[in-house]
């Protein structure tokens, strides 16, 4: 009886942890997105002022509790061409991918799609859900979600049957981030038969 109660208490004091990569070209707004997400979901977190955020060289890590018993560990990786070759080092452990697109930079949308095409074709990301965020929707003249989808649909064959969604957001204002992250959290749970979460003590 004691062992049963002890096991129940231990279970109640644990969370399911999912590891999610934040990828995209440099200057797409990945780190700004992470900071805004932390502000939205971590009570009391003041965060870094948006105008103080600099280009990521390496890796930023953050814990965010999206749902009561689910915690997402975000890995924000640098998007410079020289750093993209390191992305696949993290694929095997990833439960999901957030791919950030700078919708205010039409000149680089093709380059962004090519980097996306390469990652979705990697066997270590098979069955891993992908959330594509058309960022910087607060800017005049940005590409619409429909226009971003038209370009990224060229990767449809490689995406296959996995869960994949394109959402409009503004990392600066926070618009669109909550519904996008709620979809991500729910999809990670549904996909746990392919990639089970890690159970960790609540801290």
State the catalytic residue, choosing from 80, 113, 118, 186: 80
| pLDDT bucket at 11, cuts 50 / 70 / 90 | very low
54 in a structural domain: yes
199 in a structural domain: no
CA 31, CA 11: separation in Å to the nearest integer?
33
Domain count, the chain: 1
Q: What is the pLDDT of residue 199?
A: 85
2 in a structural domain: no
Residue 111 designated active-site:
no
User: Is 180 marked as binding a ligand?
Assistant: no
- The string over 3-17, giving b where at least 16 C-beta atoms fall within 10 Å of a residue's C-beta and e elsewhere, is eeeeeeeeeeeebbe
Name the one residue in this structure whose structure tokens are 């370009």: 151
CA 72, CA 99: separation in Å to the nearest integer?
15
7 in a structural domain: no
Q: Look up the CATH number of the domain holding residue 149.
A: 3.40.50.300
Name the one residue in this structure whose structure tokens are 């205010």: 104
Q: Kindly state the average pLDDT of the residues 13-35.
A: 93
**Mean pLDDT lowest for which of 51-55, 107-111, 167-171?**
51-55
User: Is 56 marked as binding a ligand?
Assistant: yes
What does the angle CA 184 – CA 178 – CA 156 come to, to the nearest 5 degrees?
40
User: Is 31 marked as binding a ligand?
Assistant: yes
136 in a structural domain: yes
131 in a structural domain: yes
Q: Kindly state the average pLDDT of the residues 27-37.
A: 95
8 in a structural domain: no
Boundaries of domain holding 64: 16-194
104 in a structural domain: yes
């Amino acid at each position: 009886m004691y062992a049963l109660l002890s096991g129940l208490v231990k279970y109640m004091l644990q969370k399911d942890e999912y590891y999610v990569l934040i990828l995209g070209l440099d200057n797409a707004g990945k780190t700004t997105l992470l900071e805004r997400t932390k502000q939205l979901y971590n009570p009391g977190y003041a965060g870094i002022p948006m105008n103080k955020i600099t280009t990521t060289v390496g890796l930023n890590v953050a814990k965010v509790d999206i749902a009561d018993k689910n915690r997402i560990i975000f890995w924000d990786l640098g998007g410079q061409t020289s750093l993209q070759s390191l992305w696949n080092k993290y694929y095997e452990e990833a439960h999901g991918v957030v791919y950030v697109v700078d919708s205010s930079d039409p000149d680089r949308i093709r380059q962004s799609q090519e980097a996306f095409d390469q990652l979705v074709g990697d066997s270590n990301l098979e069955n891993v859900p992908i959330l594509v965020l058309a960022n910087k929707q607060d800017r005049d003249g940005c590409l619409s979600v429909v226009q971003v989808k038209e370009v990224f649909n060229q990767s449809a064959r490689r995406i296959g049957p996995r869960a994949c969604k394109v959402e409009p957001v503004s990392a600066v204002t926070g618009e669109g981030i909550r519904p996008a992250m709620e979809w991500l959290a729910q999809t990670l749970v549904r996909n746990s038969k392919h990639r089970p979460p890690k159970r960790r003590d609540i801290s």
